[in-house]
A and B are shown apart, each in its own frame.
Chain A
Amino acid sequence: MTSALVVDAALVLLVLGLALWITAARAAYGAAVGFVAYGLLLTLVWVRLAAVDVAMTEAALGSGLTGLLLLGAAARLAPYEADEHRRRPGTVLRVLVGVLCAAIAAGLAAVVLLLPDPAPSQALAVAAHLPATGLGNPVTGVLMAYRAVDTLLESVVLVPALIGVWSLSTEMGWGGRPGFLTPCRSGSALPLLARVLPPFGILVGIHLVWAGADDPGGKFQGAAVLAAMWILVMVAGLREPPPVSDRLMRFLLVVGPLCFIGIGAAGIRLAGAFLAYPEAYAKPLILAIEAGLTISVTAVLGLLLAGPPVPEPQYQRQSRRRS
């Protein structure tokens, strides 16, 4: 008991210390690297709290993909960073921001500390009704059955996010290939890794989705692993990212949300409510939605990192310069 307490206390101190360090870091690149380590520590915290589903999401999306996005942003902002430091905001603004942040932290702490003991929970009701969904993992059950609208919205919101990234393209770049991931120099070790790792990574990704019905895992974690394999292949220069005008790719981007909305709308007739599943087919329908969403989330995550499209001549020039 006490040794577990020591580990937990050390984890909490590490998380708090690293959070302070990231906030105080001057360079964006260092802060982004710290953020990745922070995500991995948070993953351990979630494991200690027995929330393995959340831990895997944090490791794959919170730390891995968000970390990559931040690293890419830091690398792109580096030329302007010195300028930005010179024009630091005035004392009043900085104090105001600090006070507001402290107020949010204090508010959150108050909400958590003032919860009645035991905290209000629907966990027993979920556990009692889980067999009706045919699923074994209560987290998947909540996400796909009881909070299906939330899940639908968070899978749909990925598409506008990608449209936002694409909107950063110049007018000449529209219809071209995404230009953030320029291939590495040839002769580096990356192409070897990009040839050896994907078979294992794809297996692990599909396993995470499939196992998510009964064990920790699910479409977001699995899709993050699949997207990572795709990005690895693109960065290694083995495959180019598809042009944003590609019809098949656009279809794959929306097939998951369309499948979800379609099955949800069918629920109005068959089960009496939007996003309700007829009880006899609940599990196959949920698996079909998960499969469709996995494809779409993989495509969106990969293309988010691939960035806005650039004109074809610029894309070729970037590829040549690195090789």
Chain B
Amino acid sequence: MRLALDLFTIVAVTLGAIFFLAGTVGLLRFPDTLTRLHALTKADNLGLGLVVLGLLPQATAPLGWIGLIAVWLLALLSGATVGQLLAEAVRPPEWDQTRTPDAPPVGHPNAPEASSHD
């Protein structure tokens, strides 16, 4: 049983490391910011997820498990938000003009009520 769990750890962490490697290669080689962000967030989400999954059998239950999973969830949350913010910052302006000009989507910078933030 111990051996099987150790093997599981090795396999899952290795898979996670491969995702990090692929994400890094993508970050360096992809042509523009949006595709690079895609590579980066994949590494964060799946790579870190697999590393955490692989480390679960090695951690003490239940506090260690909760801690590891909380780390992954928080990384997911911040990764998704930062990805959105960066994508928003580099989005070419002509993308906005292809939308129907008279009805901008809710929360859009040009939406009528957008100036009132609480």
Contacts and interface: CB of A to CB of B under 8 A. Distances in A.
A47 to B, nearest CB: 15
A58 to B, nearest CB: 19
B92 interface: no
Interface extent on A, as a size class?
10 to 19
Interface stretch (A179-187, A269-277, A288-296): A179-187
B35 interface: no
Contacts of B109: 185-187
Contact of B117 (A193, A196, A200, A237): A237
B93 interface: no
Contact of A187 (B70, B81, B114, B118): B114
A192 B109 CA distance: 16
A320 interface: yes
A91 interface: no
B108 A187 contact: yes
Interface stretch (B12-20, B26-34, B57-65, B72-80): B72-80
Contacts of A192: 81
Contacts of A323: 114-117
Dominant secondary structure at the A interface: loop
A12 interface: no
A186 B117 contact: yes
B107 A186 contact: yes
B85 A320 contact: no
Contacts of A1: none
B21 interface: no
Given A237-B117, A320-B115, A323-B114, A188 B74 contact: no
Interface in B77-108: 77-78, 80-81, 84-85, 88, 106-108
Interface of B: 70, 74, 77-78, 80-81, 84-85, 88, 106-109, 111, 114-118
8 contacts: A183-B117, A187-B106, A188-B84, A188-B88, A200-B70, A200-B74, A237-B117, A237-B118
